[in-house]
């Protein structure tokens, strides 16, 4: 009795600290503190679990913790910032896979549950499997191991019937007294296939939203498994992560002005992008010296980072350039679109790593009104989030999506590796406007050249 009281009290404290940590993660100022709190809470929950009466296989549990913790620590140390989105995707998938694995063990053991628990067991197994296989596909796309979007013939019909079949088989074995190994294997193969089929048509423009949605799936799967196992810590942690992930997904979908169902069932692909109207005009280049002059002799510069900055690892150079401009009396701020990059908050993480103060980073709603007063909008590796066709071209796949008003600045400088369309395949009308000039090359090298030119202007 004393042991159960201690365990439940500890789980309650852990859940409280975990919620406080998650709340702290909502602000860049306190995010690091929140991660540490949540991490210690999870360690405490793991340690407390070893005090549960009747626990078996403790040696295997310790071995799994050591191996998993070692791999996580090593990969966290060596991962590049440009690879962070795919790392988040695969780690999220591991959580979903663990939840599905727990469900598989329960089904193989043939433990009888009441109807509600059996339903949650099956739902957790499906959601966890979808999160696992879907996250693996997201990882492969982000890592460049497979095409950005692969749309099957009759894609939505396949999604519907595969979902129906998976739920049907799942409920059959969930309410069965003794499901066979064949039935259980078939069920999990169908659930894993469902995750693959749902994610393979998703293109680059929708990837941040999909990663957030898969994270919500993992949280829900873990919460359902906590209910099945009667573990309060898993219930609270899973439901909180699931709810916050779903809220973030809705906010990001709103930022794209696209319902979540459209992102899943009508994703932006290269083919969809090609259906938009053709862009008229010519791209015009400028030199690093011209770019340096426009910014150095201006009063306000708004920097808009995108995935191109991440790929080039140029965030440190960008901040060095910003500091040089500020020393010359130029106001420099950073504008972040909610879906910039390949995962939620990707650009914020990169800028924080480079040392950019939080009070210089603004989101879309805060900064958009300032663009007409800006002398220069410096776009570094961004595409869809500054594409004005989102306001004007109803045939464009991104029509209605709120964008950063870079085109309203007095001058626009776009740092871009080449002349091709962005990750989503949509041509950007901003690049052809009269007030826009292109600065081609890797962002790190290009910004380095601009820095050198700024120094010569000040000499």
Per-residue pLDDT band at 419 (split at 50, 70, 90): low
| Residue 341 clears pLDDT 70, i.e. is over it | yes
Mean pLDDT over 62-75 rounds to 90
Asked, for residue 302, whether it belongs to a domain, the answer is yes
Q: At CA 352, angle to CA 347 and CA 353, rounded to 5?
A: 100
Catalytic residues: 384
Mean pLDDT over 388-413 rounds to 86
State pLDDT tens for residues 142-153: 887 886 667 778
Query: Considering only CA atoms, which of 211, 204, 198, 343 is closest in space to residue 270?
Result: 204
The first and second tokens of residue 58, run together, are: 């403790």
Question: Do 236 and 332 sit in the same domain of this protein?
Answer: no
Instruction: Using a pLDDT cut of 70, give the percent of the chain over it.
Output: 91
Query: Could you give the strand order of the β-sheet that contains 436-440, starting from the edge strand earlier in sequence?
Result: 361-363, 331-336, 300-305, 376-380, 411-416, 436-440
Which pLDDT value is given to residue 358? 87
Query: Considering only CA atoms, which of 404, 398, 366 is closest in space to residue 385?
Result: 404
DSSP character string of 296-357? HTSSEEEEEE-HHHHHHT-HHHHHHHHHHHHHTT-EEEEEE-TT-SSSTTHHHHHHHHHT--
Question: Do 241 and 206 sit in the same domain of this protein?
Answer: yes
Q: Which helix (H) or strand (E) holds 128?
A: helix 115-142
DSSP character string of 392-411? H-TTSTTTT-----GGGSSE
CA 376, 379, 383, 384 torsion-angle sign: negative
Contact predicate 253/263, CB 8 Å: yes
Question: Do 231 and 344 sit in the same domain of this protein?
Answer: no
Mean pLDDT over 3-14 rounds to 81
Question: Do 259 and 296 sit in the same domain of this protein?
Answer: no
DSSP character string of 24-87? HTTSTTTHHHHHHHHHHHHHHHHHHHTTSTT---HHHHHHHHHHHHHHHHHHHHH--GGGHHHH
Neighbours of 92 (CB within 10 A): 27
Asked, for residue 24, whether it belongs to a domain, the answer is no
Asked, for residue 202, whether it belongs to a domain, the answer is yes
Report the distance separating Cα 87 and Cα 81, nearest Å. 10
Question: Do 251 and 329 sit in the same domain of this protein?
Answer: no
The first and second tokens of residue 93, run together, are: 């998938």
Mean pLDDT over 111-117 rounds to 74
Neighbours of 273 (CB within 10 A): 21
Mean pLDDT over 263-272 rounds to 60
Last residue of a domain, one of 267, 300, 318: 267
Question: Do 437 and 361 sit in the same domain of this protein?
Answer: yes
What value does the mean pLDDT of the chain take?
A: 84
Question: Do 301 and 418 sit in the same domain of this protein?
Answer: yes
Which pLDDT value is given to residue 420? 60
Contact predicate 238/220, CB 8 Å: yes
CATH number, domain with residue 391: 3.40.50.1220
Question: Do 122 and 236 sit in the same domain of this protein?
Answer: yes
CA distances from 306 to 228, 303, 341, 446 (A): 43, 10, 6, 15
Give the list of residues 6+ apart from residue 125 with CB closer than 8 angstroms, or none: 99, 100, 103, 104, 107, 170, 187, 188, 191, 221
Question: Do 199 and 300 sit in the same domain of this protein?
Answer: no
Which of 71-85, 217-231, 328-342 bottoms out in mean pLDDT, i.e. has the lowest? 71-85
Give the list of residues 6+ apart from residue 293 with CB closer than 8 angstroms, or none: 453, 457
Contact predicate 99/221, CB 8 Å: yes
Three-state DSSP class for 219? helix
Which pLDDT value is given to residue 274? 47
The number of distinct structural domains making up the chain is 2
End-to-end Cα distance, the chain = 77
Contact predicate 398/390, CB 8 Å: yes
Residue numbers of the domain that contains 194: 82-267
Query: Considering only CA atoms, which of 176, 410, 180, 401 is closest in space to residue 276?
Result: 401
Question: Do 243 and 295 sit in the same domain of this protein?
Answer: no
Report the distance separating Cα 252 and Cα 206, nearest Å. 10
Which pLDDT value is given to residue 133? 94
The first and second tokens of residue 407, run together, are: 């085109």
Asked, for residue 163, whether it belongs to a domain, the answer is yes
Question: Do 230 and 307 sit in the same domain of this protein?
Answer: no
Question: Do 140 and 216 sit in the same domain of this protein?
Answer: yes
Asked, for residue 305, whether it belongs to a domain, the answer is yes
Asked, for residue 150, whether it belongs to a domain, the answer is yes
């Amino acid at each position: 009795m004393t042991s159960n009281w201690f365990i439940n009290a500890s789980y309650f404290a852990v859940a409280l600290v975990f919620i406080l940590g998650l709340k702290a993660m909502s602000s860049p100022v306190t995010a690091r503190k929140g991660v540490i709190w949540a991490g210690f809470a999870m360690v405490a929950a793991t340690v407390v679990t070893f005090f549960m009466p009747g626990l078996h296989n403790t040696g295997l549990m310790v071995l799994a913790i050591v191996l998993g913790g070692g791999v996580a620590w090593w990969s966290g140390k060596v991962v590049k910032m440009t690879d962070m989105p795919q790392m988040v995707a695969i780690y999220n998938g591991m959580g979903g896979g663990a939840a599905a694995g727990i469900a598989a063990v329960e089904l193989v053991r043939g433990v009888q549950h009441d109807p509600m628990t059996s339903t949650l067991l099956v739902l957790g197994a499906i959601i966890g499997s979808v999160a696992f296989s879907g996250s693996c596909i997201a990882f492969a796309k982000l890592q460049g191991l497979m095409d950005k979007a692969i749309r099957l013939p009759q894609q939505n019909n396949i999604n519907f019937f595969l979902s129906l079949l998976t739920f049907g088989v799942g409920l059959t074995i969930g309410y069965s007294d003794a499901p066979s190994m064949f039935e259980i294997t078939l069920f999990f193969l169908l659930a894993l296939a469902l995750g693959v089929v749902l994610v393979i048509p998703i293109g680059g423009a929708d990837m941040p939203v999909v990663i957030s949605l898969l994270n919500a799936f993992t949280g829900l799967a873990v919460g359902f498994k906590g209910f099945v196992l009667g573990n309060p810590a898993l219930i609270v942690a899973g439901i909180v992560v699931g709810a916050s992930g779903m809220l973030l997904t809705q906010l990001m979908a709103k930022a794209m002005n696209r319902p979540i169902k459209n992102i899943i069932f009508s994703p932006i692909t290269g083919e969809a992008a090609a259906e938009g109207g053709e862009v008229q005009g010519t791209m015009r280049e400028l030199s690093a010296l011209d770019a340096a002059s426009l910014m150095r002799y201006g009063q306000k510069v708004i920097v808009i980072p995108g995935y191109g900055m991440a790929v080039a690892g140029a965030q440190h150079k960008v901040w060095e350039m910003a500091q040089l401009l500020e020393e010359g009396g130029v106001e420099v701020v950073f504008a972040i679109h909610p879906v910039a990059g390949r995962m939620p908050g990707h650009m914020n993480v990169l800028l924080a790593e480079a040392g950019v103060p939080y009070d210089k980073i603004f989101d879309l709603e805060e900064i958009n009104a300032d663009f007409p007063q800006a002398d220069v909008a410096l776009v570094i590796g961004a595409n869809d989030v500054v594409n004005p066709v989102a306001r004007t071209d109803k045939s464009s796949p991104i029509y209605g999506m709120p964008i950063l008003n870079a085109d309203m600045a007095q001058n626009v400088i776009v740092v871009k590796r080449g002349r091709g369309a962005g990750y989503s395949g949509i041509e950007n009308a901003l690049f052809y406007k009269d007030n826009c000039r292109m600065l081609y090359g890797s962002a790190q090298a290009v910004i380095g050249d601009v820095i050198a030119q700024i120094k010569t202007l000040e000499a």
